[in-house]
Amino acid sequence: MYGVIISYVIYALVITILNFYSISKILEYRPDVITLFVKPAAASGIMGIVCFGCYQLLHQFLGKAIPMLISVVVAVIVYFAVAVKCKLLTESVMRDLPKGSTLIRIAKKCRLM
């Protein structure tokens, strides 16, 4: 039932590992595994759990479409908050993003930075 999803995840993981190995070997540069893989995976996991919980809670009362939209918005906010707290998004990185100054202002207002 979930064969396509599982195969896609395995495919993406294998390609990522092979690219990581190639970059390390060719450029003689060892990227930080924690910053590159572990922190984003943890932020994604936290976001997924919160999004799933939000959807399940709202689905009982509001049907399907509205809880999905609300859950996506909550997921974006949670991922942003976790990424800033884990220092995946620093102030200098956010400055380079479109509307980065707005993101910095929001992060500081919410005491994430």
Q: 3-state SS string over 35-48?
A: HHHHHHHHHHHHHH
Q: Is the pLDDT of residue 1 over 80?
A: no
Residues 69 and 26 both lie in one domain: no
Residues 82 and 37 both lie in one domain: yes
User: Tokens standing for 85?
Assistant: 């707290």
Residues 72 and 104 both lie in one domain: yes
Q: Can you give the pTM of this predicted structure?
A: 0.78
Tally of structural domains, the chain = 2
Render pLDDT for 16-72 as a digit per residue (tens, 0 to 9): 889 988 988 898 888 788 888 889 999 999 999 999 999 999 999 888 889 999 999
Domain that holds residue 37: 32-109
- Identify residue 38 by its one-letter amino acid code: V
User: Tokens standing for 106?
Assistant: 């929001």
Residues 58 and 71 both lie in one domain: yes
Give the closest residue to 77 by CA, choosing from 101, 107, 57, 108.
107
Distance (Å) of CA 81 to CA 20, 37, 75, 90: 27, 18, 10, 12
Give the closest residue to 90 by CA, choosing from 99, 79, 103, 78.
103
Structure confidence at residue 23 (pLDDT): 86
User: Tokens standing for 87?
Assistant: 């220092």
Render pLDDT for 74-86 as a digit per residue (tens, 0 to 9): 999 999 999 999 9
Residues 36 and 7 both lie in one domain: no
Residues 70 and 103 both lie in one domain: yes
